[in-house]
Structure 1
Amino acid sequence: MNEVFIAGRALASALGPDLGSAMAALPAGAAPVPVTLADGSSWPCYAIDDDDTDWTSRSRRLVERAAAEAGATDRTGALFIASSSLDIGLLEATHDFDRDHQAFADSVAGWLGWQGPVYTVSTACTSGLNALLSARTLVRHGVVPQALVLGLELRNTLTLGGFAGMQLLSHSAALPYGLGRNGLVLGEAVAALQLSAQPSRWRLAGGANVVDGRDPAGSIESAVIDMCHQALADSALTAHDIGLVKPQAAGGAASDATEARALRQVFDPLPPLVSFKAAIGHTLGASGVAEIALLTACLESGAWPRADHAQDPALQAPLAKVPPSHARHVLACILGFGGGHTAVVLEDTQA
């Protein structure tokens, strides 16, 4: 079987239109913008700075730019489209609710002139990592020579209104693992990871997806523990091999506490932790792809997200203020609605 590597990456987010802009803006961070819903309530949201009011042209431009930045020149491999909201923003604008999921996949494939197989992965917040694991399987077994994983979470009011209705949003700011954290702040992202069997710096060593739906809107401690153990086993590693963990750390009062407890049971001592939610928001189905693009770029460049909000000492899981001096293996986690607990392990082959 082939080893699988990240051959290219891209990100458009509140930090900027591309990954280079994101690295320059990351130390200072980005500010969310207020979005007002039909009921008059206003919520902060990390939006991509692109004021095109036409949903389709804006989305197409962002997708084409991400694919180009990730180096996806060969359009005959597999294309994975990972999203929670898909094209709900377009449906809101056109009231064409007869469109199905396949219509959006067809649109994205058409924008890119894609000739290979196209897959849609929509497993709520874990969409991006599940798409990445599926793409890895195809490349690993030689089914396709390369795969492009697109994480897309684009503006719409249905998603924001749904989270607001469940009282899961913060009125102020995202405080991952923070003292006084009071909810999520959502964000937009268009991100891409190009996978290949050709060796490069970052190897996708393994991963796991554990589903436990006992709390449909939250995480389960035992499932987080199982997710970590299974991801480590799939990567032929132990907990002591991990030099950095990127947890979900979305800013929810209960969910952050559950995740931190579970991580402390897996790792002793706990490795350095990093979160990007205070920089780009929770980008839902795109978050796995977006945050891995950021994470790998940070470890290469030395840029690091701000962690200047007060940490909750009860969690015993402080975020690192600087990059670790050595992190050959990194565990990246995303937890999502419906009981999804997903993680991947990355190896820095140059560390």
Structure 2
Amino acid sequence: MSLAPVHLAGTGLACALGGDLRAAVAALRRGGVRPEPVRISPEVQWPVYRLPAGEGDWRARLVRTVRAVAAEAGVDDAARDAPLFVASSSLDVGEMEQVPPAARFGGDFDDFADIVAHALDWRGPVFTVSTACTSAFNAVFAACDLLRAGEAAEALVIGAELGNRFTVAGFGAMQLLSPDAARPFGAARNGLVLGEAVAALRLARAPAGRWRIAGGANVVDGRNPSGAEASAVRAMCEGALAQAGLATADVDLVKVQAAGGPANDAIEAEALKQLFGTLPPLVSLKAQIGHTLGASGAAELALLLACIEAGAWPRAEHALDAGLGVALAAEAPARLRHLLLNLVGFGGGHAALLLAGDHA
């Protein structure tokens, strides 16, 4: 039996494409933006989809951006008594890079969420969710559980990843980064490109907006700590469908994880073919904003819905790998009742979220 829906009452996004959703869609229509080099050492640099630098230090940028995306999502004073879920993978590493070494390890795990909550003058309970790249989806799942249990009428999810050299250096050391561009499902794919983003999702029990969260699932399979497992990809999709009371034939569009990794893209493609047989239209967003890690669930959800509403569409400019047997949709499908959004993260996290439209 499907669970009571939770409605998506508002979204906000700041990413490399722009400081809000309208700017992001406009930039996408113009062909997008290019990543900028981040220098790790005099000899090593990697491309990253970065937010505009703006004025002030790391914390000032975070505070300013969090306030902007929350306002875009429609957060008002009354909403500040609701639960707040802060999702991130790198948390406040960027700020620690800017302070003296002796001061870097004096805080705790919740420091980052405290900064976000203080920026919003938040009065309600605050939760930190950090499960690598699945952080934002797991924050949404936790928020939905609270709403469905009647513990709150609304909740806010903030997904945030701001720049830091530590994360870029780590991914580079594991040989997971592309030196030039992300090519999801591409014939010449050679790694992922990281991205910065701050996104807000305002959730409500009462009907609001066009979309509602109909189901979701998180599956952990740690056999490949830095990659995907086909059985777990299938299981996360099946779990989201079961929670929503839907079948694979009901899915009109899949937002894939596909970050451009040689192995993981192939694993995801094979798992989706096994699950669906005949694939529904697929869309990828990581060639436009990069892999925004713990924020990616919120950021890609907000950007995808903005594209749908505005009639814009992210197109693949690279040649796809014919051996994978998949294609990326050149335009939005005419029928969009149910959207399946997939994420795969470090530590074996595999998460899928299912959205239902107002005509579903």
1:9 aligned onto 2:17? no
Number of equivalenced pairs: 351
TM-score, with normalisation over the residues of structure 2? 0.96
1:129 is matched with which residue? 137
Identity among equivalent positions (%) equals 55
1:37 is matched with which residue? 40
Tell me, in whole angstroms, the C-alpha distance in 1 between the residues paired with 2:310 and 2:335: 13
Question: After superposition, where does 1:1-351 map in structure 2 within 5 Å?
Answer: 2-27=4-29, 28-38=31-41, 40-73=43-76, 74-94=79-99, 95=101, 96-199=104-207, 200-350=209-359
Match of 1:125, SS? coil
Instruction: Give the Å deviation of 1:299.
Output: 1.6
Greater CA drift, 32-41 or 176-185: 32-41
Tell me, in whole angstroms, the C-alpha distance in 2 between the residues paired with 1:300 and 1:152: 23
Contact 2:4–2:214 (8 Å) recurs in 1: no
Tell me, in whole angstroms, the C-alpha distance in 2 between the residues paired with 1:155 and 1:37: 12
Contact 2:184–2:260 (8 Å) recurs in 1: yes
Tell me, in whole angstroms, the C-alpha distance in 1 between the residues paired with 2:220 and 2:248: 21
Contact 1:126–1:335 (8 Å) recurs in 2: yes
Greater CA drift, 144-153 or 295-304: 295-304
2:290 counterpart letter in structure 1: G
Match of 2:110, SS? helix
Instruction: Give the Å deviation of 1:39.
Output: 5.2
Contact 1:85–1:153 (8 Å) recurs in 2: yes
Instruction: Give the Å deviation of 1:98.
Output: 1.4
1:71 counterpart letter in structure 2: G
Tell me, in whole angstroms, the C-alpha distance in 1 between the residues paired with 2:56 and 2:35: 19
Greater CA drift, 172-181 or 31-40: 31-40
Contact 1:232–1:345 (8 Å) recurs in 2: yes
1:126 counterpart letter in structure 2: T
Q: Deviation per CA, 1:7-59, whole angstroms, max 9, x where unpaired?
A: 00000000000001011111311110011102520110000113335011111
Tell me, in whole angstroms, the C-alpha distance in 1 between the residues paired with 2:279 and 2:160: 32
Contact 1:12–1:19 (8 Å) recurs in 2: yes
Tell me, in whole angstroms, the C-alpha distance in 1 between the residues paired with 2:36 and 2:55: 16
Tell me, in whole angstroms, the C-alpha distance in 2 between the residues paired with 1:102 and 1:131: 14
Q: Deviation per CA, 1:58-108, whole angstroms, max 9, x where unpaired?
A: 110001111111111110111000000001000110132212121222221
Contact 2:315–2:329 (8 Å) recurs in 1: no
Runs of 5+ consecutive residues of structure 2 not aligned to the other structure: none
Contact 2:216–2:353 (8 Å) recurs in 1: yes
Contact 2:168–2:194 (8 Å) recurs in 1: yes
Taking a change above 3 Å as real, the CA distance of residues 53 and 38 of structure 1, as seen in their structure-2 partners, is: farther
Tell me, in whole angstroms, the C-alpha distance in 2 between the residues paired with 1:210 and 1:247: 16
Q: Deviation per CA, 1:280-337, whole angstroms, max 9, x where unpaired?
A: 0000000000000011111222110121210111111111111111120010000000
Match of 2:253, SS? strand
Tell me, in whole angstroms, the C-alpha distance in 2 between the residues paired with 1:208 and 1:107: 29
Tell me, in whole angstroms, the C-alpha distance in 2 between the residues paired with 1:9 and 1:114: 18
Contact 2:92–2:111 (8 Å) recurs in 1: no
CA RMSD of aligned residues (A): 1.1
After the TM superposition, which parts of structure 1 deviate over 3 Å for at least 4 consecutive aligned residues?
A: none
Contact 1:331–1:344 (8 Å) recurs in 2: yes
Tell me, in whole angstroms, the C-alpha distance in 2 between the residues paired with 1:46 and 1:140: 36
Contact 1:2–1:139 (8 Å) recurs in 2: no
Match of 1:20, SS? helix
Contact 1:29–1:306 (8 Å) recurs in 2: no
TM-score, with normalisation over the residues of structure 1? 0.98
Q: Deviation per CA, 1:122-148, whole angstroms, max 9, x where unpaired?
A: 000000111011111111221111010
Tell me, in whole angstroms, the C-alpha distance in 2 between the residues paired with 1:265 and 1:202: 28
